[in-house]
Amino acid sequence: MKLIRGEYFSTVTVSRHEVEEFRRQWPCSGLPAQAMWFRFTTNGDLVDMSFNHHDEEGGAMGALIQDAREYAGWRASCSGGTH
């Protein structure tokens, strides 16, 4: 993964190779074998992404988003927020 931190947003890019590795854990996910990016606000809220996840099933996209969020430095707290 690659992190680009900006003043208002941070973008995490996941390479095609990393997506393919992730898909091995979620073989029926419907995720395409392509690079993706996720954009987060300064408090860790997802605001944009490069992939339309409506065709994805089984929660894999949510797991990949969480991995990208954690890579950017935010972890989900027990209350559902981030820190």
Q: With bands split at pLDDT 50, 70 and 90, how would you rate the model's confidence at 83?
A: very low
pLDDT at 76 over 70: no
Q: Locate the domains of the chain by residue range.
A: 2-71
Whole-number percent of the chain with pLDDT over 90: 59
User: Which residues make Cβ contacts (< 8 Å) with residue 1, sequence separation at least 6?
Assistant: 12, 13, 14, 15, 18, 67, 68, 71
The one-letter amino acid at 72: A
pLDDT surpassing 70 at residue 80 = no
The pTM score is: 0.82
pLDDT in tens, 6-19: 999 999 999 999 99
